[in-house]
Chains A and B, each alone.
Chain A
Amino acid sequence: MVAKKIINNFSITIATVNGSGSQTANVTLLRALFKMGIPVSGKNLFPSNIQGQPTWYTIRLNKDGYTARCDGPEVVVGMNAASFTHDLASVSPGGAFFYSDDIKQPITRTDISVYPMPVKVISRAANVSPALREYISNMVYVGVLAQILGIDMVSLKQALYFHFKGKAQAVDSNFGTIDASARWAAENLKKTDPFFAQPMATKSEYIMADGNTAAALGAIYGGVQFAAWYPITPASSLAESLNIFLPQLRKKQDGKATYAVLQAEDELAAIGMAVGAGWAGLRAMTSTSGPGISLMSEYSGLAYFSEVPIVVWDVQRVGPSTGLPTRTAQADLTSTYFLGHGDTQFVILLPGSVQECFEFGWKAFDLAERLQTPVFVLSDLDLGMNQWMTKPFEYPDVPMDRGKVLWEKDLEKLAGVWARYKDVDGDGIPFRTFPGNRHPAAAYFTRGTGHDENARYTEGAENWEANMVRLKHKYDTARTMVPKPAVSNMKGSELGIIAFGSTEAAVREARDIMKKKKGLKSDFLRLRALPCTKEVFNFIQKHERIYIVEANRDSQLRQILSAVMPDQARKFRPAAHNDGLPLTANWIQDAILSQEEK
């Protein structure tokens, strides 16, 4: 079989048992390929389980920089007897299948290259304790793949060094197994597949990180002072990252902290604590996923109505209900936008990359405090938990905006005359004071019940309506402050595409495919926030047909945009789909072309 070499343009799926330590091996492969300068992405498809269930990890190498999940895979590693039949069948024709040779199941394919690996034999030879043997056995496929595909050994060692934080013993024992396996493969396997990983000379301006770490770091550079959270997949690692980095970045020399992170008893309490802290003048946040957002509904309404700044990160997973807790979706948009009873409107930020998770991490606090309102940031499992190539984090380019706050000296100038809910500046945003302000006129009483401009209780019809109208006006002010969309046009295109969040890479690739294969040009608006800024209105007005691409069933962004711009709604065409997996470029172009060709 002499096939044309396929270099840096294929995907690898590794099938393992969860809890077996394969993540270290998989991320090591991903990082080594990244170090070789090859554009690469890794996606972990894992079960809601601690140990023993099938799990898959997919790595895509693409010399052109397309890093969305793709169809395939061309290369499959079968380490799990339970999913062996499925994994073997999943290999693309002409692909390669590596498997642990202690799995005694029939190889029914003749259209692919097959490589048995003596995983048990090699890992038994490794100089490690029996307890570590299972972990180290995953390094066998790393070594064999390295030999057959051409993955650089130095890069692998760098990846291990990073993973084990420089602990020599761990690096050496893992690398020893990789090296032994590579040598075994060199002596015993004959390469018959066409897939090669080759170093690329691209100057790497990228780093590799996950969105939850980026979000936590962004929050830290945004001056987060209080975070309360409750464990939930896929959001837990966001708060855990705060716990890792805050002590390093935000402790004084005497060891005293400028922050507090508290694991609450539930999501009701997590947001309640954030509201208390935000009310009292701290930059306060919580992080959760869809089920947590449901529980946070009542407090969100209170914070909206009593005008308390908080930041809520929703790392979305598949719902409703417990749903698919370890799979990704963009399906909390509608519920978050309309969260709470009565008339509410929330500011929502939609990061589309790991770097943007960092950026919105700090920006969200500026917006929340400026607008005195909850700001939701909707990430997702794919963005939050997977490792992505991303541009380095950029230090905030503007000073912190603490919003309209009156301290003692301000109140002295005003001779103590002020009103908590009075729109002094015409932007719908009033002034506020914090507990601890010793001016005798500083205090006011905050409530979720009807109040007048002085925060006094009233059931007055006019007071109620005037306040709600002001809040609506404030939301219009938000429209001028939230991040503008990212727009990318192709000259002469009539077609518009709107998407948000983690689908960016797949949409970019789909547009290129449609242009190349069908000559179909498209303009792309990646929405970065709600409410819609004027750029969004302009984009929609300029295009006759607009596909709205999103990872949910009900085309939620289309629903919202239709409500915001009812006169434009006829233009909107859904391209919505969710099966728990990140969207692929192929699916997107099919969804668009099938409607275009009608």
Chain B
Amino acid sequence: MLTAFAEHLRTIWPDVDWREHDDVIHADIGARYLRAMTKYFRAQQWRIGTIVARENGRGLDVRYCFYATLHPGWVELRVELDPGERTLPSLTNVAIAADWFEREIEDLFSIRFTEHPRLGDFVLHNDRLPENLGLMRPQVQSAADIPEQTREWRPKRVLEEEGAFVMTVGPVYSGEAESALFLLETVGEDVVRAVPRLFFKYRAIEKIAEGRTVQDVLLLAERCNGTSAIGNGLAYCQAVERATGITVPARALSLRTFFAELERLRHHMTSVREICASTALQVAESQALWIEEQLLRVSGELTGHRYLFGVLAIGGLMTDYDRGALETAVADVELLVRRVEPLRKALENASSFLDRIEQVGIVSGEAARAFEIVGPFARASGVCADMRAVQPYDAYPSVRFDVPAETEGDGYARLRVLFSEMIQSLHIMRQVVAGLPAGAVVGNTPAGAGSALGWSEAPRGASVQWVECDAQGIVLRYRLTPPSFRNWHGFHVATEDFAFQDFPIILATLDLSVAENDR
């Protein structure tokens, strides 16, 4: 399939050298091709996986990575900028999903994107940080390289209408909510639009990863979002393994699948709990909390860590698990999933609950496709995209599962997707344990220099990562594109013209992680 696609590309752009390597087509192109190619890939149902900017000693190069949604396969377009050149054409006109990628790169690398509608303060928006800092550039090495200053901040655009005002929510708000600022433009009770201001929690993971060993960067990948350590860790491990040519044994592949699904199940339970909490349904919230705690305990009992930190290792897993323990875990999870069922039924019959989540935060399939939303969020809008099914990895090619999808795109559809996926996760866990291959769980570890893409379906959607390391196993550039970064981009679509009291409910049903977005 991919070879045929490469042939096709050769006929359209014969002067470009299209090289196939495993399931990725590479090409070095000039910036003038970018818009036409992006337009073409989008028309062929390909999506943007990630955009990776990198300082390579001579100057800059930027990689545009696309993936197919109908069959396995990736395309990596590399644009090398002339030394001193820091301008690229913006892709927002042909792919709106490139918007936030470009804003991020502009902020962190000081690259200008011509014709981008809205550049400026994005990641580093604090008043006291200097403009055009270019944090990811090699000149900035320590906190001492960032001079502090005072500057007054004003919003760029102000809604002007009689009785209108902007209500700010955050960055510190609510009980145990993550830190983020929301500018709610309202005319009385109704909110016209909500603008999120994120990156308060920016820890510069990509920057501090540089110079660390590939093993130590795994700790950063896991802790980018502690509630999906396996999801993001897996994409990172795969990137390193592909870059350095490590073969992962079959048993480790199966066990990774097992833990990824255990994590997905627990994560979805957390999301259900948050939705119940947002509607102030105390009993349902408590019941969900209880089931979630039991799932955390199953994880703790099995691996020693409730959030599955330290399970993954480059080349496989940190330790092996015996069959008996895995079977006990599956039996426990099965019992818990059985307990979810009455909760689901009770929620589906509670009219006061349904009134609050039905028809709120609607994202149409068209919008979800345009903004390239991923994960359960997209699947609730009828976009049946799942990395496990389309770009299979680990043991996913050998297990059977459905990708549940709904079409309404409202809060209730998202809740139903979460419930259905939990059952699929259990189904996958059962199959993996039943057909667990024997053998080692850690493969060969040849140190080799290289760079590669890695991807996985984290609980919130596709996690796409790119790693470059040298022969000593030191990371030179780490690019982490977690699902929440993609999904926050679509946040404003769900929050147009809504009643103020629906805000926490919309936020909960969208299932977005601030930590994961901020990195």
Question: Are A and B part of the same complex?
Answer: no
The interface of chain B, by Cβ under 8 A from chain A, is none
